[in-house]
Amino acid sequence: MAGVEAFDAVDLIRAKRDRRELTTAEIDWLVEAYTRGYVADEQMSAMTMAIFLNGMTRREIRDLTMAMIASGERMDFSGLGKPTSDKHSTGGVGDKITLPLMPLVATFGVAVPQLSGRGLGHTGGTLDKLESIPGWRAEITNDEMFAQLRDVGGVICAAGAGLAPADKKLYALRDITGTVEAIPLIASSIMSKKIAEGTSALVLDVKFGSGAFLQDIERSRELARTMVELGEDAGVATSALLTNMNVPLGLTIGNANEVRESVEVLAGGGPADVRELTIALAREMLAVAGRDGEDVEGALDDGRAMDTWRRAIAAQGGDPDAELPVAREHHVVTADRDGVLVEQHALPFGIAAWRLGAGRARKQDPVQHAAGIELHAKPGDEVRAGQPLFTLAADEPERFARALEAVEGAWRIGDPGEPVQDGGPLIADRIGR
Ligand code: URA
């Protein structure tokens, strides 16, 4: 005889539909029974829609997060003998910050266990970017990860299948049922993976603006607060920065070109916004790990962070000196008049890079590492007629037409003195202790 189930999924769906708070035992059972296949996708779809519409209390969100952590393995780096600190970004256009940030923080003796993903849709994935380095391997064992954290101090690698399997199943379901953008579900999804990963400190880069996952700053603030509370409740020292994603970050969008730009930042140069955010997040990651007042800028300028980068890339089979792939075809878009670039919207540029082959439409698709966009001007820059504004790069020239369609109306040249889009600061707020 089949075992007796503690609850009935339909009762729990009705309860959430009618705005009743679910108990800890109900949430534990729901997540466990869904992971083992007893609760059907149809039932969980109804539940996620009820949560989307009616929300969850702080206690329910915490229980949901803990139940998702309990669905898989939980890593433990306490044996490393040094503090651990990690960063998670909610994703944006040209967001390559993890690449210079990991070695920068690791340089100060704070280990960075960065489990990352591949991109889907217009936001790129950190692993896709790093895989443009010849020989570099994203998949490593837990033992290799531990050894690299001990010997090099930082690692960026693929999350194994054992980490929060309930979230994997639930996220795929939300993706096809219009229930991704629910704060309780986003917060529990992100934090279950980060807490299961075993870091003792965590900084969240929560984006707002047209190229962000949640465009409205107040919704982003609520997401940040919810995630900081979840981290603190689980004993992980957590803080968040709210950062502007109305314009692309840096001058590159793609994979190999974003690695090149990251290496420039590690060499003490690079675009001002990428350097500023890298430094701000590094300071936060060190602060939540109990290390205030380090000379973060100095480690970028004197080559210490670059040194750690080279060792981390080599430890995963990559050649830090190898030539990165270059696209076969290029298409340059020029300014049609003299003036000032007053608008450059992140989302259309992200979509264009994706259409050029830098991103994937389906999980199983490969990405083209050399495809992407290089920006030659940023909002506020003066431009002259005929000057290059941006260059599209692709292996197949047929891709240019649809990419150009995506960026139509996405930038504008105005007169000197006209207000420039998003003059606000890159870092709008900080949330945490
Ligand atoms: N990223 C995640 O991992 N989960 C979400 O729900 C949204 C973004």
Give the three-state DSSP class for 199.
coil
- Ligand 1 centre distance from Cα of residue 420 (Å): 32
> Predicted confidence band at 360 (pLDDT cuts at 50, 70, 90)?
confident
Strand partners, 353: none
Q: Are 236 and 270 in contact (CB under 8 A)?
A: no
Active site residues per annotation: 88, 167, 174, 189, 193
Report the distance separating Cα 43 and Cα 22, nearest Å. Answer: 16
* Closest Cα to atom 8 of ligand 1: 186
Report the distance separating Cα 311 and Cα 172, nearest Å. Answer: 35
Same CATH fold, 78-322+428-432 and 9-55? no
Q: What is the position in ligand 1's atom list of the atom closest to the CA of 171?
A: 6
Least confident segment among 44-48, 137-141, 178-182: 178-182
> Predicted confidence band at 423 (pLDDT cuts at 50, 70, 90)?
low
Domain 9-55 is in which class?
A: mainly alpha
Report the distance separating Cα 211 and Cα 223, nearest Å. Answer: 16
> Predicted confidence band at 119 (pLDDT cuts at 50, 70, 90)?
confident
Question: Which of 48, 189, 191 has most ligand 1 atoms within 8 Å of its beta carbon, as the pocket-test mutant?
Answer: 189
- Ligand 1 centre distance from Cα of residue 171 (Å): 7
Does pLDDT of 9 surpass 70?
yes
Q: What is the pLDDT of residue 10?
A: 98
Q: How far is CA 168 from the centre of its chain?
A: 16
* Closest Cα to atom 6 of ligand 1: 186
Q: 78-322+428-432, what's its fold?
A: Pyrimidine Nucleoside Phosphorylase; Chain A, domain 2 (3.40.1030)
- 11 versus 359: the higher-pLDDT residue is 11
Report the distance separating Cα 216 and Cα 208, nearest Å. Answer: 6
Domain range 329-414, its CATH number among 3.90.1170.30, 3.30.750.24, 3.40.50.720, 3.30.360.10: 3.90.1170.30
Strand partners, 331: 392
Using CA atoms, how far residue 342 sits from 216, 413, 416, 420, in Å, is 21, 6, 9, 4
Does pLDDT of 399 surpass 60?
yes
> Predicted confidence band at 345 (pLDDT cuts at 50, 70, 90)?
very high
> Predicted confidence band at 364 (pLDDT cuts at 50, 70, 90)?
confident
Q: What is the pLDDT of residue 297?
A: 98
Strand partners, 239: 203, 432
> Predicted confidence band at 120 (pLDDT cuts at 50, 70, 90)?
low
Report the distance separating Cα 222 and Cα 89, nearest Å. Answer: 15
Average pLDDT across the chain, whole number: 95
Question: Which of 180, 181, 206, 219 has most ligand 1 atoms within 8 Å of its beta carbon, as the pocket-test mutant?
Answer: 180
Which helix (H) or strand (E) is 31 found in, with range? helix 24-35
Question: Which of 56, 190, 219 has most ligand 1 atoms within 8 Å of its beta carbon, as the pocket-test mutant?
Answer: 190
Q: Residues lining ligand 1, judged by CB closer than 6 Å?
A: 171, 180, 185-186, 189-190
> Predicted confidence band at 167 (pLDDT cuts at 50, 70, 90)?
very high
pLDDT digits (tens, 9 = 90+) for 238-269: 999 999 999 999 999 999 999 999 999 999 99
Please spell the DSSP secondary structure of 310-364, one letter per residue: HHHHHHTT--TTSPPP--SEEEEEE-SSSEEEEEE-HHHHHHHHIIIIIS-SSTT
Q: What angle do CA 99, 321, 364 make, to 5 degrees?
A: 55
Q: What does residue 33 show for φ and ψ, rounded to 5 degrees?
A: -70, -30
Q: What is the position in ligand 1's atom list of the atom closest to the CA of 174?
A: 6
Which helix (H) or strand (E) is 404 found in, with range? helix 400-406
pLDDT digits (tens, 9 = 90+) for 271-281: 999 999 999 99
User: Residues 6 or more apart from 14 whose CB is under 8 A from it?
Assistant: none
* pTM for the whole structure: 0.96
Length of the chain, please?
433
Does pLDDT of 363 surpass 80?
no
> Predicted confidence band at 295 (pLDDT cuts at 50, 70, 90)?
very high
Report the distance separating Cα 347 and Cα 248, nearest Å. Answer: 8
- Ligand 1 centre distance from Cα of residue 190 (Å): 5
Domain boundaries in the chain? 9-55, 78-322+428-432, 329-414
Least confident segment among 45-59, 114-128, 201-215, 389-403: 114-128
Which residue in this structure is represented by tokens 């300071």? 283
pLDDT digits (tens, 9 = 90+) for 314-339: 999 999 999 999 999 999 999 999 99
* Closest Cα to atom 3 of ligand 1: 190
User: Residues 6 or more apart from 200 whose CB is under 8 A from it?
Assistant: 77, 78, 83, 84, 85, 236, 237, 289
Q: Are 286 and 105 in contact (CB under 8 A)?
A: yes
270: left (phi over 0), alpha (psi -120 to 50) or beta: left
Q: What is the pLDDT of residue 186?
A: 95
Count other C-beta atoms under 10 Å from residue 55's C-beta.
14
- Ligand 1 centre distance from Cα of residue 178 (Å): 13
- Ligand 1 centre distance from Cα of residue 181 (Å): 9
> Predicted confidence band at 2 (pLDDT cuts at 50, 70, 90)?
low
Q: Are 124 and 114 in contact (CB under 8 A)?
A: no
* Closest Cα to atom 7 of ligand 1: 186
Report the distance separating Cα 4 and Cα 37, nearest Å. Answer: 15
Q: Are 407 and 391 in contact (CB under 8 A)?
A: no
Mean pLDDT of 204-227: 95
- Ligand 1 centre distance from Cα of residue 382 (Å): 38
Report the distance separating Cα 341 and Cα 339, nearest Å. Answer: 7
Locate 172 and state its tokens: 């795929």
